[in-house]
Amino acid sequence: MVVLKTERLILRTWKEQDLDPMSAINQDSLVCEFLPKIGNRMLTKKLICRFMDHYEKYGFTAYAIELKSNGELIGFIGLMVPSFEAHFTPAVEIAWRLASQHWGKGYATEAAKTIVDFAFITLKLEEIVSFTVENNIRSRRVMEKIGMCHNPKDDFDHPKLPKNSPFCRHVLYRLTRLNNQKLREL
């Protein structure tokens, strides 16, 4: 089911035929550079099932992204409730993952702006967050392009990762509905 559209993208719920292309994305070492492990078909199936269960529970999730031009699945983007406790939870996170061959084309920012509008206008959320490993500059740029703000005092050690993991330390970005509205008025 199509949930949202942008100029070049369709954001939709998941289909059975998405498993193989999403598995390929999750096995790309560039895509997984800042993730604790590279995915495989079984882990990707679990991830998609988690997204579908989240949709059933909350009415929103991380959606499949496909190109309008040819229907190619290029990753996911959406809103998720983090499955761990931290100083900023409960919260709703905006998260994405795109195939590396589609980086640098503005797809992540284009889709993220649409998800931000969905979060604040349709779902009427007061705030969304996003987080990533400190060195994930690409994702941090997207967060900044959509108006999210980083306060180093919010940074945290991810509770699901070992303290000695190079992926443990995370930066947290926030965007409130009020700040988003001010950005839209500029």
How many domains does the structure of the chain reveal?
1
Mean per-residue pLDDT, 24-31: 96
Q: What is the pLDDT of residues 53-98, one digit of tens each?
A: 999 999 999 999 999 999 999 999 999 999 999 999 999 999 999 9
Q: Tell which residue, 138, 143, 117, has the closest CA to residue 11.
A: 117
Q: What is the pLDDT of residues 121-162, one digit of tens each?
A: 999 999 999 999 999 999 999 999 999 999 999 999 999 999
pLDDT at 3 over 90: no
Q: Which residue would you say has higher pLDDT here, 181 or 56?
A: 56
Say if residue 148 is exposed, middle or buried (CB neighbours under 10 Å; 0-12, 13-18, 19+). buried
Q: Which domain holds residue 89?
A: 2-185
Give the CATH number for residue 135. Answer: 3.40.630.30
Find the helix packing angle between 19-26 and 41-58, rounded to 10°: 110
**Cβ proximity of 28 and 100 under 8 Å:** yes
